[in-house]
Amino acid sequence: MFNIILFGPPGSGKGTQSELLINNFGLTHISTGDLLRSEIEEGTKLGVEAKKYMDDGQLVPDEVVIGMIETLVRKNKTSKGFIFDGFPRTTTQATALDTFLSANNMPIDVLVSLDVPEAELKSRLIERGKVSGRSDDNEEVILQRIQEYLNKTKAVEEHYAAQGKLEKIDGVGTIESIASSIAKVIERLTPVK
Ligand code: B4P
């Protein structure tokens, strides 16, 4: 089993790169952003609650996302491994994930951090906003999301650096070149093909 966290600020390409990794390595993709958006679409109680935070560019409360992740991992225990995309986003989520995975003897192998300058993040998300229909892809909310990342999420990188599991990747370049850098990290650590 191989477990990877794809990490980075909003718009750094976590979702984009996850799609490529699923195809190349046969890992199970878990995106908390996608999960929350499907809850919103289905109009569930959780979705209605989450939307209030997401539309303001804030993180959804830890207990909500931690519960969602644990349910999904349990359902896919026979998987070759997981790509955690957009999770953990706080050190509380990271500690909960570590505890849960260790109890199931399937620890995180690596956190791959996509490094992208703020100006590039803003322009990517503003561009996506023109076609995505996502209510959080507008300039004011994008700035709030980046601030929330700096205040609450960036520390997750340190959490895994302290465990010797941090790998930084330049997240600027073609989607293919970035995918190739991530693939090299995975192949170096363990051949999962
Ligand atoms: P997410 O859905 O995780 O979204 P994201 O941070 O916007 O995107 P990502 O980095 O995946 O960017 P993408 O590949 O799409 O989160 C949305 C919200 O959900 C959060 O703000 C929060 O409220 C909530 N949430 C989610 N998880 C949570 C958690 N664990 N705890 C609490 N709350 C949580 O790329 C963006 C754009 O860039 C795309 O248009 C793409 O085409 C483009 N792009 C990608 N790579 C590129 C490249 N190399 N060059 C040029 N453009 C590129």
Write down the pLDDT at residue 190: 80
Confidence band of 192 (pLDDT split at 50, 70, 90): very low
Collapsed DSSP state (helix, strand, coil) of residue 12: coil
Which residue intervals of 31-174 are DSSP H helices?
32-42, 45-54, 62-75, 91-103, 118-132, 139-148, 155-161
Instruction: Give 104-113 pLDDT, tens digit per residue.
Output: 999 999 999 9
Q: Give every CB contact of residue 1 below 8 A, 6+ residues apart in sequence.
A: 79, 80, 81, 106
Strand partners, 83: 4, 29
Mean pLDDT, the chain, as a whole number?
Answer: 95
Which residues sit with their C-beta closer than 6 Å to ligand 1? 8, 10-16, 32-33, 36, 53-54, 59-60, 65, 86-87, 89, 93, 124, 128, 136, 145, 173, 175, 178
Instruction: Give 137-149 pLDDT, tens digit per residue.
Output: 999 999 999 999 9
Mean pLDDT of 8-32: 94
Q: Give every CB contact of residue 103 below 8 A, 6+ residues apart in sequence.
A: none
Q: Is residue 193 over pLDDT 80?
A: no
Q: What is the CA(13)–ligand 1 centre distance, in A?
A: 6
Task: Indicate the angle between helix axes 32-42 and 62-75, nearest 10 degrees.
Answer: 100
Residue that has been written with the tokens 């850098």 in this structure: 181
DSSP character at residue 61? P
From the list 37, 80, 128, 154, the catalytic residue is 128
Name the residue at shortest CA distance from atom 52 of ligand 1: 124
Of the residues 21, 29, 36, which should be mutated to test ligand 1's pocket, given the most ligand atoms within 8 Å of the CB? Answer: 36
Collapsed DSSP state (helix, strand, coil) of residue 179: helix
CA 23 to chain CA centroid, nearest Å: 17
Query: What are the counts of helices (DSSP H) followed by strands (DSSP E) for the chain?
Result: 9, 5
Question: 188 catalytic, yes or no?
Answer: no
Cβ contact 138:21 at 8 Å = no
Residue that has been written with the tokens 């909003």 in this structure: 10
Question: 74 catalytic, yes or no?
Answer: no
Strand partners, 5: 84, 111
Q: What is the CA(7)–ligand 1 centre distance, in A?
A: 10
Instruction: Give 58-82 pLDDT, tens digit per residue.
Output: 999 999 999 999 999 999 989 999 9
> Which two structure tokens, joined as six digits, stand for 150?
């700096």
